[in-house]
């Protein structure tokens, strides 16, 4: 199994631009999670899906953030417009019920 695949690994964009992060979960996993990690705030859960349905998006910081999961094998996290304070490492993780998460390698986003 290739694990959880995230793309791109690094993204540098200018303030105001739209950014789309992508995630392919492990086949057979029914839950998918988006996290953001910064030195200041640590690991924050942004949103999670169960069977492709968003269950809890209370961690999404603002309306500029949106996430979709159109099918069991793909999810996106979009930031529009992006701001410098959005700079962070964004992780996607997937899991099967009662099993531990498997994390992707992350996308390092820098907004200048």
Partner 1 sequence: GNSVTQMEGPVTLSEEAFLTINCTYTATGYPSLFWYVQYPGEGLQLLLKATKADDKGSNKGFEATYRKETTSFHLEKGSVQVSDSAVYFCALSDQSGNQFYFGTGTSLTVIP
The site for partner 1 (CB under 8 A) is made up of: 4, 30-31, 33, 42-43, 48, 50, 55-56, 91, 93, 95, 97-106
Name which of 7 and 81 has its Cβ closer to partner 1.
7
Name which of 31 and 82 has its Cβ closer to partner 1.
31
Name which of 48 and 65 has its Cβ closer to partner 1.
48
Q: How far is the CB of 29 from partner 1 (least distance, A)?
A: 11
3-state secondary structure labels for all residues of the chain: CCCCEEECCEEEECCCCCEEEEEECCCCCCEEEEEEEECCCEEEEEEEEECCEEEECCCCCCCCEEEEEEECCEEEEEECCCCHHHCEEEEEEEECCCCCCEECCCEEEEEC
Q: How far is the CB of 100 from partner 1 (least distance, A)?
A: 4
């Amino acid at each position: 199994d290739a694990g959880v695949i995230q793309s791109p690994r690094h993204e540098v964009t200018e303030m105001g631009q739209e950014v789309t992060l992508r995630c392919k979960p492990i086949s057979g996993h029914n839950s998918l999670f988006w996290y953001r990690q910064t030195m200041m705030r640590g690991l924050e859960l942004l949103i999670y899906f169960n069977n492709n349905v968003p269950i809890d998006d209370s961690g999404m910081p603002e309306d500029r953030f949106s996430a979709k999961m159109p099918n069991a094998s793909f999810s996106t996290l979009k930031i529009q417009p992006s701001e410098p304070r959005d700079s962070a490492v964004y992780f996607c993780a997937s899991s099967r019920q009662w099993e531990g998460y498997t994390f992707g390698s992350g996308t390092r986003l820098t907004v200048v």
